[in-house]
Amino acid sequence: MTPHNKAKLQDIAKVVLMPGDPLRAKWIAEHFLMKPKLVNDVRGMYAYTGTYKNKKVTVMAHGMGMPSIGIYSHELFAFYKVNTIIRIGSAGSFVKNANVGSVIIADEAYSNSDYAREVGIKTPNHTLKATPKTLALCKKVSAELKIKSLVGKILSEDAFYSATPWNKRMLLSKGLLGVEMEAFALYANAIRNKKNALCILTVSDSFISNKSMTPEERQTSLKDMVVLGLETAIRI
């Protein structure tokens, strides 16, 4: 056990899917896993372990922002012997072809955050990469299941309510598809612990069309992303 997770070592699977919202973790466990068991509720950060197509999988929330996912993902990697973490979350879209509901597979995360530097990871051009073999597997599963997905670089930011409007020219020049708040720290922790990580996102808001999901839709209408994450997990 750790200060933030009361699960026993055997309660956590080797592959963990991590949404940000604890209620989303609960919804995923109840709708996709067989015999899900609540194994952690410390600070309300629910973790459930069950089976998906006869393979043991854990779904655990990570909260909001890089410090939060930084704590939970490091503890899973370092103390629970987790081999792979797949973040499944929401993002805002910067490009026209990533509409609300679109799935993004984040092969790289760009950020100005100091998180990676503080845990001892160098970040060439402020960018960290997903684990190549996990990324390749996810792309293969996406094609097999005919789940339409965009593969590309995303922005991981620290301030949700940023005081500085995004410079569209800068975003386009860096090839950023959208923005979220956690992938950069997850990728840093995977490198730090010599483990595997990937981030799969559903576009919940578009800065192009100004359309957005409702809070209820954010919690429950992310089926393609969840299935892609689970189907990737059971093939690892």
Q: At what angle do helices 223-233 and 22-32 cross, to 10 degrees?
A: 70
Q: Are 56 and 175 in contact (CB under 8 A)?
A: no
Phi, psi of 202 (to 5 degrees): -110, 130
From CA 52, how far away is CA 60, in angstroms rounded? 15
DSSP string for residues in 81-111: ---EEEEEEEEEE-STTS-TT-EEEEEEEE-
Burial class (CB in 10 A: 0-12, 13-18, 19+), 46: buried
Instruction: Respond yes or no: is residue 224 known to be catalytic.
Output: no
3-state secondary structure of 12: coil
Residues 11, 21, 107, 205: which is the catalytic one? 205
Q: Are 195 and 82 in contact (CB under 8 A)?
A: yes
From CA 218, how far away is CA 194, in angstroms rounded? 32
From CA 93, how far away is CA 39, in angstroms rounded? 34
Q: What is the set of active-site residues?
A: 205
